Protein backbone atom coordinates (compact mmCIF):
# COMPACT_ATOMS: atom_id res chain seq x y z
CA UNK A 1 0.00 0.00 0.00
CA UNK A 2 2.81 2.40 0.83
CA UNK A 3 4.43 1.60 -2.51
CA UNK A 4 1.18 2.44 -4.29
CA UNK A 5 0.95 5.72 -2.41
CA UNK A 6 4.51 6.64 -3.41
CA UNK A 7 3.72 5.82 -7.01
CA UNK A 8 0.71 8.12 -6.86
CA UNK A 9 2.74 11.15 -5.64
CA UNK A 10 4.27 12.03 -9.05
CA UNK A 11 0.87 11.63 -10.71
CA UNK A 12 -0.76 13.91 -8.13
CA UNK A 13 2.04 16.43 -8.50
CA UNK A 14 1.60 16.40 -12.29
CA UNK A 15 -2.16 16.96 -11.98
CA UNK A 16 -1.65 19.79 -9.51
CA UNK A 17 1.00 21.57 -11.56
CA UNK A 18 -0.95 21.19 -14.79
CA UNK A 19 -2.49 24.54 -15.81
CA UNK A 20 -6.27 24.79 -15.40
CA UNK A 21 -6.66 27.06 -18.41
CA UNK A 22 -6.09 25.99 -21.99
CA UNK A 23 -3.26 27.57 -23.92
CA UNK A 24 -5.71 28.73 -26.57
CA UNK A 25 -7.85 30.68 -24.11
CA UNK A 26 -4.80 32.19 -22.42
CA UNK A 27 -3.45 33.27 -25.81
CA UNK A 28 -6.78 34.88 -26.65
CA UNK A 29 -6.71 36.85 -23.40
CA UNK A 30 -3.13 38.00 -24.00
CA UNK A 31 -3.93 39.01 -27.58
CA UNK A 32 -6.95 41.06 -26.52
CA UNK A 33 -4.94 42.85 -23.83
CA UNK A 34 -2.06 43.46 -26.25
CA UNK A 35 -4.44 45.03 -28.77
CA UNK A 36 -5.90 47.22 -26.03
CA UNK A 37 -2.38 48.29 -25.05
CA UNK A 38 -1.57 49.15 -28.66
CA UNK A 39 -4.72 51.27 -29.01
CA UNK A 40 -4.07 53.20 -25.79
CA UNK A 41 -0.41 53.62 -26.75
CA UNK A 42 -1.32 55.21 -30.10
CA UNK A 43 -3.90 57.43 -28.41
CA UNK A 44 -1.23 58.57 -25.94
CA UNK A 45 0.97 59.68 -28.85
CA UNK A 46 -1.86 61.48 -30.65
CA UNK A 47 -3.83 63.17 -27.86
CA UNK A 48 -2.61 66.12 -25.84
CA UNK A 49 -2.73 69.89 -25.50
CA UNK A 50 -1.04 70.18 -28.92
CA UNK A 51 -2.92 68.28 -31.67
CA UNK A 52 -0.90 65.69 -33.56
CA UNK A 53 -2.35 63.60 -36.37
CA UNK A 54 -1.89 59.87 -36.78
CA UNK A 55 0.12 60.48 -39.94
CA UNK A 56 2.48 62.76 -37.98
CA UNK A 57 2.95 60.00 -35.40
CA UNK A 58 3.87 57.39 -37.98
CA UNK A 59 6.17 59.86 -39.70
CA UNK A 60 7.91 60.77 -36.44
CA UNK A 61 8.43 57.11 -35.52
CA UNK A 62 9.72 56.17 -38.94
CA UNK A 63 13.47 55.38 -38.97
CA UNK A 64 13.85 57.38 -42.19
CA UNK A 65 12.40 60.53 -40.66
CA UNK A 66 15.08 63.19 -40.25
CA UNK A 67 13.05 66.38 -40.00
CA UNK A 68 12.93 68.73 -37.04
CA UNK A 69 9.25 69.75 -37.18
CA UNK A 70 7.32 70.44 -33.99
CA UNK A 71 5.04 67.39 -34.24
CA UNK A 72 7.97 64.98 -34.51
CA UNK A 73 9.71 66.67 -31.60
CA UNK A 74 6.62 66.40 -29.42
CA UNK A 75 6.10 62.74 -30.24
CA UNK A 76 9.72 61.64 -29.88
CA UNK A 77 10.89 63.65 -26.89
CA UNK A 78 7.70 64.08 -24.83
CA UNK A 79 4.91 61.63 -25.56
CA UNK A 80 6.80 58.50 -26.58
CA UNK A 81 8.97 58.29 -23.41
CA UNK A 82 5.96 59.11 -21.27
CA UNK A 83 3.75 56.46 -22.86
CA UNK A 84 6.46 53.81 -22.61
CA UNK A 85 7.18 54.82 -19.03
CA UNK A 86 3.50 54.53 -18.14
CA UNK A 87 3.22 51.09 -19.70
CA UNK A 88 6.35 49.77 -17.99
CA UNK A 89 5.37 51.21 -14.60
CA UNK A 90 1.92 49.69 -14.81
CA UNK A 91 3.26 46.32 -15.93
CA UNK A 92 5.81 46.20 -13.10
CA UNK A 93 3.28 47.26 -10.45
CA UNK A 94 0.68 44.72 -11.57
CA UNK A 95 3.21 41.88 -11.66
CA UNK A 96 4.54 42.85 -8.23
CA UNK A 97 1.00 42.92 -6.85
CA UNK A 98 0.14 39.51 -8.29
CA UNK A 99 3.36 37.98 -6.93
CA UNK A 100 2.96 39.44 -3.45
CA UNK A 101 -0.62 38.24 -3.22
CA UNK A 102 0.68 34.74 -3.92
CA UNK A 103 3.68 35.07 -1.60
CA UNK A 104 1.73 36.52 1.33
CA UNK A 105 -1.56 34.76 0.50
CA UNK A 106 -3.28 38.02 1.34
CA UNK A 107 -5.77 39.67 -1.06
CA UNK A 108 -4.79 43.13 0.20
CA UNK A 109 -1.09 42.72 -0.57
CA UNK A 110 0.22 45.22 -3.09
CA UNK A 111 3.66 46.44 -4.27
CA UNK A 112 4.11 49.03 -1.55
CA UNK A 113 3.25 46.76 1.37
CA UNK A 114 6.94 45.98 1.96
CA UNK A 115 7.86 49.65 2.33
CA UNK A 116 9.53 49.89 -1.08
CA UNK A 117 7.75 53.12 -2.00
CA UNK A 118 8.48 54.66 1.38
CA UNK A 119 12.23 54.11 1.14
CA UNK A 120 12.29 55.39 -2.44
CA UNK A 121 10.25 58.44 -1.48
CA UNK A 122 12.51 59.40 1.43
CA UNK A 123 15.68 59.23 -0.64
CA UNK A 124 14.05 61.01 -3.58
CA UNK A 125 12.73 63.85 -1.40
CA UNK A 126 16.16 64.32 0.17
CA UNK A 127 17.63 64.53 -3.34
CA UNK A 128 15.02 67.12 -4.35
CA UNK A 129 15.74 69.21 -1.29
CA UNK A 130 19.44 69.04 -2.16
CA UNK A 131 18.76 70.45 -5.63
CA UNK A 132 20.17 67.56 -7.68
CA UNK A 133 19.16 66.93 -11.30
CA UNK A 134 16.21 64.72 -12.27
CA UNK A 135 18.42 61.73 -13.00
CA UNK A 136 19.89 62.13 -9.52
CA UNK A 137 16.39 62.00 -8.03
CA UNK A 138 15.70 58.77 -9.90
CA UNK A 139 19.00 57.25 -8.80
CA UNK A 140 18.29 58.23 -5.19
CA UNK A 141 14.83 56.68 -5.38
CA UNK A 142 16.37 53.44 -6.65
CA UNK A 143 18.86 53.40 -3.79
CA UNK A 144 16.10 54.05 -1.26
CA UNK A 145 13.89 51.31 -2.66
CA UNK A 146 16.64 48.71 -2.44
CA UNK A 147 17.61 49.95 1.04
CA UNK A 148 14.04 49.29 2.18
CA UNK A 149 14.11 45.84 0.56
CA UNK A 150 17.32 44.96 2.41
CA UNK A 151 15.88 46.20 5.73
CA UNK A 152 12.72 44.10 5.40
CA UNK A 153 14.68 41.07 4.21
CA UNK A 154 17.15 41.39 7.06
CA UNK A 155 14.42 41.64 9.72
CA UNK A 156 12.36 38.76 8.30
CA UNK A 157 15.24 36.55 7.16
CA UNK A 158 14.79 33.85 9.81
CA UNK A 159 11.26 33.08 8.67
CA UNK A 160 11.80 33.67 4.96
CA UNK A 161 14.95 31.59 4.58
CA UNK A 162 14.11 28.78 6.97
CA UNK A 163 13.90 25.46 5.19
CA UNK A 164 10.92 24.16 7.19
CA UNK A 165 7.50 23.99 5.52
CA UNK A 166 5.90 26.77 7.55
CA UNK A 167 4.14 29.96 6.59
CA UNK A 168 6.40 33.03 6.75
CA UNK A 169 3.77 35.39 5.34
CA UNK A 170 2.60 37.04 8.61
CA UNK A 171 6.11 37.99 9.73
CA UNK A 172 7.05 39.34 6.31
CA UNK A 173 3.80 41.30 6.04
CA UNK A 174 4.11 42.80 9.51
CA UNK A 175 7.76 43.70 8.96
CA UNK A 176 6.92 45.47 5.71
CA UNK A 177 3.98 47.33 7.27
CA UNK A 178 6.08 48.60 10.18
CA UNK A 179 8.90 49.62 7.84
CA UNK A 180 6.43 51.48 5.61
CA UNK A 181 5.01 53.28 8.64
CA UNK A 182 8.49 54.40 9.66
CA UNK A 183 9.24 55.71 6.17
CA UNK A 184 5.88 57.52 6.22
CA UNK A 185 6.85 59.41 9.36
CA UNK A 186 10.14 60.49 7.76
CA UNK A 187 8.27 61.64 4.62
CA UNK A 188 5.96 63.81 6.73
CA UNK A 189 8.97 65.33 8.46
CA UNK A 190 10.67 66.11 5.14
CA UNK A 191 7.54 67.74 3.72
CA UNK A 192 7.26 69.87 6.83
CA UNK A 193 10.84 71.09 6.47
CA UNK A 194 10.79 71.48 2.66
CA UNK A 195 10.95 74.98 1.12
CA UNK A 196 7.71 76.20 -0.45
CA UNK A 197 9.33 76.43 -3.88
CA UNK A 198 10.08 72.69 -3.90
CA UNK A 199 6.94 71.46 -2.15
CA UNK A 200 4.75 71.22 -5.29
CA UNK A 201 7.26 69.04 -7.17
CA UNK A 202 7.71 66.82 -4.14
CA UNK A 203 3.97 66.30 -3.77
CA UNK A 204 3.64 65.50 -7.49
CA UNK A 205 6.35 62.86 -7.21
CA UNK A 206 4.73 61.33 -4.14
CA UNK A 207 1.39 60.94 -5.92
CA UNK A 208 2.96 59.54 -9.10
CA UNK A 209 4.20 61.67 -11.96
CA UNK A 210 5.51 60.70 -15.40
CA UNK A 211 6.18 64.25 -16.57
CA UNK A 212 9.76 64.81 -17.66
CA UNK A 213 10.73 61.15 -17.57
CA UNK A 214 13.17 59.98 -20.22
CA UNK A 215 13.17 56.68 -22.07
CA UNK A 216 12.65 53.97 -19.40
CA UNK A 217 15.42 51.63 -20.52
CA UNK A 218 16.27 50.48 -16.99
CA UNK A 219 12.62 49.78 -16.18
CA UNK A 220 12.20 47.87 -19.46
CA UNK A 221 15.20 45.74 -18.55
CA UNK A 222 13.73 45.09 -15.11
CA UNK A 223 10.41 44.06 -16.68
CA UNK A 224 12.11 41.56 -18.98
CA UNK A 225 14.21 40.21 -16.11
CA UNK A 226 11.17 39.72 -13.86
CA UNK A 227 9.16 37.97 -16.59
CA UNK A 228 12.05 35.64 -17.44
CA UNK A 229 12.49 34.79 -13.76
CA UNK A 230 8.82 34.24 -12.88
CA UNK A 231 6.88 32.93 -15.88
CA UNK A 232 8.71 29.54 -15.96
CA UNK A 233 7.75 28.84 -12.32
CA UNK A 234 4.12 29.94 -12.68
CA UNK A 235 2.79 26.34 -12.33
CA UNK A 236 4.63 26.04 -9.01
CA UNK A 237 2.99 29.28 -7.83
CA UNK A 238 -0.40 27.62 -8.33
CA UNK A 239 0.71 24.95 -5.86
CA UNK A 240 2.19 27.47 -3.43
CA UNK A 241 -1.27 28.99 -3.03
CA UNK A 242 -2.28 25.77 -1.25
CA UNK A 243 0.26 26.37 1.51
CA UNK A 244 3.95 25.72 2.12
CA UNK A 245 3.45 22.25 3.57
CA UNK A 246 1.24 21.06 0.72
CA UNK A 247 3.59 22.52 -1.88
CA UNK A 248 6.65 20.89 -0.34
CA UNK A 249 4.83 17.56 -0.13
CA UNK A 250 4.20 17.79 -3.88
CA UNK A 251 7.88 18.37 -4.61
CA UNK A 252 7.92 22.15 -4.98
CA UNK A 253 11.16 23.78 -3.69
CA UNK A 254 9.33 26.15 -1.35
CA UNK A 255 12.37 27.93 0.09
CA UNK A 256 13.90 28.72 -3.30
CA UNK A 257 10.56 29.62 -4.85
CA UNK A 258 9.55 32.03 -2.07
CA UNK A 259 12.92 33.78 -2.25
CA UNK A 260 12.63 34.04 -6.03
CA UNK A 261 9.15 35.55 -5.81
CA UNK A 262 10.21 38.01 -3.11
CA UNK A 263 13.19 39.31 -5.06
CA UNK A 264 11.24 39.51 -8.32
CA UNK A 265 8.40 41.47 -6.71
CA UNK A 266 10.85 43.77 -4.94
CA UNK A 267 12.81 44.51 -8.12
CA UNK A 268 9.58 45.19 -10.01
CA UNK A 269 8.28 47.58 -7.36
CA UNK A 270 11.63 49.36 -7.04
CA UNK A 271 11.91 49.87 -10.82
CA UNK A 272 8.33 51.18 -11.04
CA UNK A 273 8.76 53.64 -8.17
CA UNK A 274 12.07 54.85 -9.56
CA UNK A 275 10.50 55.55 -12.97
CA UNK A 276 7.10 57.04 -12.12
CA UNK A 277 6.92 57.74 -8.40
CA UNK A 278 4.36 56.15 -6.08
CA UNK A 279 1.44 55.26 -8.36
CA UNK A 280 -1.13 53.53 -6.20
CA UNK A 281 -3.95 50.99 -6.64
CA UNK A 282 -2.57 49.43 -9.84
CA UNK A 283 -0.88 46.50 -8.14
CA UNK A 284 -3.93 45.94 -5.94
CA UNK A 285 -6.81 46.30 -8.40
CA UNK A 286 -5.46 44.87 -11.68
CA UNK A 287 -4.66 41.33 -10.42
CA UNK A 288 -8.06 41.14 -8.70
CA UNK A 289 -9.86 42.21 -11.88
CA UNK A 290 -8.09 39.52 -13.88
CA UNK A 291 -8.83 36.83 -11.29
CA UNK A 292 -12.48 37.82 -11.17
CA UNK A 293 -12.76 37.72 -14.96
CA UNK A 294 -10.50 34.83 -15.97
CA UNK A 295 -9.52 32.81 -12.91
CA UNK A 296 -6.40 32.42 -10.80
CA UNK A 297 -4.12 30.34 -13.02
CA UNK A 298 -0.73 32.03 -12.62
CA UNK A 299 0.42 30.88 -16.06
CA UNK A 300 -2.22 33.14 -17.57
CA UNK A 301 -2.37 35.76 -14.83
CA UNK A 302 1.23 36.99 -14.72
CA UNK A 303 1.62 37.95 -18.43
CA UNK A 304 -1.96 39.24 -18.45
CA UNK A 305 -1.24 41.39 -15.39
CA UNK A 306 1.74 42.96 -17.16
CA UNK A 307 -0.39 43.90 -20.17
CA UNK A 308 -3.42 45.05 -18.17
CA UNK A 309 -1.29 47.08 -15.75
CA UNK A 310 0.41 48.82 -18.65
CA UNK A 311 -2.96 49.66 -20.18
CA UNK A 312 -4.25 50.99 -16.85
CA UNK A 313 -1.36 53.39 -16.21
CA UNK A 314 -1.12 54.53 -19.85
CA UNK A 315 -4.85 55.24 -19.82
CA UNK A 316 -4.63 57.06 -16.50
CA UNK A 317 -1.73 59.17 -17.77
CA UNK A 318 -3.71 59.99 -20.93
CA UNK A 319 -6.60 61.23 -18.78
CA UNK A 320 -4.20 63.17 -16.54
CA UNK A 321 -2.72 64.97 -19.57
CA UNK A 322 -5.99 65.79 -21.35
CA UNK A 323 -8.82 66.23 -18.86
CA UNK A 324 -7.54 69.60 -17.60
CA UNK A 325 -5.20 70.56 -20.48
CA UNK A 326 -2.94 72.48 -20.64
CA UNK A 327 -2.64 71.75 -16.90
CA UNK A 328 -1.59 68.21 -15.97
CA UNK A 329 -2.74 66.08 -13.07
CA UNK A 330 -0.57 63.57 -11.20
CA UNK A 331 -1.20 60.16 -12.69
CA UNK A 332 -1.40 58.65 -9.21
CA UNK A 333 -4.45 60.78 -8.46
CA UNK A 334 -6.25 59.40 -11.52
CA UNK A 335 -5.41 55.78 -10.65
CA UNK A 336 -6.66 56.32 -7.08
CA UNK A 337 -9.89 58.01 -8.18
CA UNK A 338 -10.57 55.17 -10.61
CA UNK A 339 -9.24 52.37 -8.41
CA UNK A 340 -11.41 53.00 -5.34
CA UNK A 341 -14.84 52.59 -7.02
CA UNK A 342 -13.59 49.72 -9.19
CA UNK A 343 -12.30 47.81 -6.18
CA UNK A 344 -15.52 48.41 -4.23
CA UNK A 345 -17.52 47.19 -7.22
CA UNK A 346 -15.42 44.04 -7.40
CA UNK A 347 -16.05 43.34 -3.71
CA UNK A 348 -19.80 43.75 -4.13
CA UNK A 349 -19.80 41.68 -7.32
CA UNK A 350 -17.89 38.85 -5.66
CA UNK A 351 -20.25 38.87 -2.70
CA UNK A 352 -23.24 38.71 -5.04
CA UNK A 353 -21.73 35.78 -6.90
Mean pLDDT score, 83-111: 89
Residue 196's pLDDT is what? 84
- Cα angle vertex 110, ends 104, 116, to 5°? 100
Instruction: Give SS3 for 158.
Output: helix
pLDDT band at 323 (very low <50, low <70, confident <90, very high): confident
Question: If you ran DSSP here, which 8-state letter would residue 133 be given?
Answer: -
Cα→Cα distances 115→88, 109, 146, 150, Å = 20, 12, 10, 11
How many other C-beta atoms are found inside a 10 Å radius of the C-beta of residue 253? Answer: 14
Residue range 247-305, pLDDT digits in tens: 888 888 888 888 898 889 888 988 898 888 888 889 999 999 999 889 889 999 999 99
Residue 327's pLDDT is what? 77
Residue 212's pLDDT is what? 66
pLDDT band at 9 (very low <50, low <70, confident <90, very high): very low
pLDDT band at 1 (very low <50, low <70, confident <90, very high): very low
Please count the residues of the chain. 353
Residue 169's pLDDT is what? 64
Domains of the chain, earliest start first = 36-65+78-352 (1.10.3470.10)
Does pLDDT of 16 surpass 50? no
pLDDT band at 78 (very low <50, low <70, confident <90, very high): confident
Mean pLDDT score, 234-245: 86
* Cβ contacts of 184-188, under 8 Å, gap ≥ 24: 184/118, 186/118, 186/122, 187/118, 187/121, 187/122, 187/125
Residue 7's pLDDT is what? 44
pLDDT band at 313 (very low <50, low <70, confident <90, very high): very high
Residue range 191-210, pLDDT digits in tens: 998 888 888 888 888 888 78
Residue 328's pLDDT is what? 82
User: What predicted TM-score, i.e. pTM, was given to this entire model?
Assistant: 0.86
Query: In this predicted structure, which of 60-69, 130-139, 182-191, 197-206 has the lowest mean pLDDT?
Result: 60-69
Residue 151's pLDDT is what? 85
Amino acid sequence: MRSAQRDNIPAARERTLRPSMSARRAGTIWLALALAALVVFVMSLVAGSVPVTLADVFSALSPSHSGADMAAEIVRTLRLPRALGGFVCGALLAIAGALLQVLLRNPLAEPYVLGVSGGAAVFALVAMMSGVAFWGVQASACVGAFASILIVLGLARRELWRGEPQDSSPRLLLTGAVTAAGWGAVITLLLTLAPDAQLRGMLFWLTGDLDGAGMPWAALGALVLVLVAIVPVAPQLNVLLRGDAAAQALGVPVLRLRSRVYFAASIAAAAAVTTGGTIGFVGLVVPHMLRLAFGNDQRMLLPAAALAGGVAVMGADLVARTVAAPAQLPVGVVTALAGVPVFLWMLLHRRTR
